[in-house]
Amino acid sequence: MTDRPENPQQAQQQQWPGSFREMQPVPDHGETSYQGSGRLKGKTAIITGGDSGIGRAVAIAYAREGADVVISYLDEHEDAKDTAQLVEAAGQQALLIAGDIMQAEHCRSIVAQTADRFGKIDIVVNNAAFQMTRDSLDEIDDDEFDRTMKTNLYAMFYICKAAVPHMPAGSSIINTASVNADQPKPKLIAYSATKAAIINFSGSLAALLADKGIRANAVAPGPIWTPLIPATMPPQQIESFGSQVPLQRMGQPAELASSYVMLASDEASYISGATIAVTGGVAVI
């Protein structure tokens, strides 16, 4: 892993959804550091938002652990192709699927294409997310609120519902929540609400799918250096991003990958309904 970041960061901004290749510093996704050991050998994983950020780090780790990876993304084609190349360099198959997961039919298509290509689905990582920083309710229009809910919540429901019939016993669903679920931010009111719902959904899903042998868990990241940050936060907030947590720095996407690997692996066979906090020292209850 690269040197740990220190504040202040360089003020910067991108157009949503952003690209990791334009960020300063470029995030560490584990490209040169993650070493696999076959923990996911023979498995197939769907990762939404798998082109960059946390999703890219998970894709790299899963491939190096022996899994084929389906990378769902919006329209960041260069980022997605770069991630797919790393998956293939690890000796695994990569399937790229572009499109907007706000649409139920597209979510069902992701699952159908995966099942057709690989015959089964062992891991689903619902990771793609949308947020915008707003100072007041008046600044949040209906379309923005709708996009936040549909991207963060509806897509998770659509994909889980479509995927479960293709998931054998021992499979794993992992949903990306946030520290904001437990400590909601007033300027991220819609996003924080969805992240709390994701944890609740994951807990209910764990109980609902237990008789099928399918596990469901959530990972709650803290401030992680992904394209979502410069694409949705004012530049002046970037300079101090992450300094508020006990470790006093933002986290790198690579620092989350091991949590997703553990939850996807057979080693986590008795872990379901849990939320794993990767927050730089902030407690999530």
Strand 215-221 and strand 172-176: the pairing is parallel
The set of residues, in sequence order, having a beta carbon less than 8 Å from that of 226 and lying 6+ positions away, is 20, 27, 52, 53, 54, 253
In the chain, the DSSP E strands lie at 44-48, 68-73, 94-98, 123-126, 172-176, 215-221, 275-278
Tokens of 148: 């936040």
Catalytic annotation present for 191 = yes
Nearest Cα to 156, choosing from 192, 98, 120, 104?
104
User: From CA 20, how far away is CA 63, in angstroms rounded?
Assistant: 20
DSSP string for 73-131 = ESS-HHHHHHHHHHHHHTT--EEEEES-TTSHHHHHHHHHHHHHHHS---EEEE-----
* The one catalytic residue among 34, 62, 73, 191: 191
Tokens of 69: 């990876």
Active site residues: 191
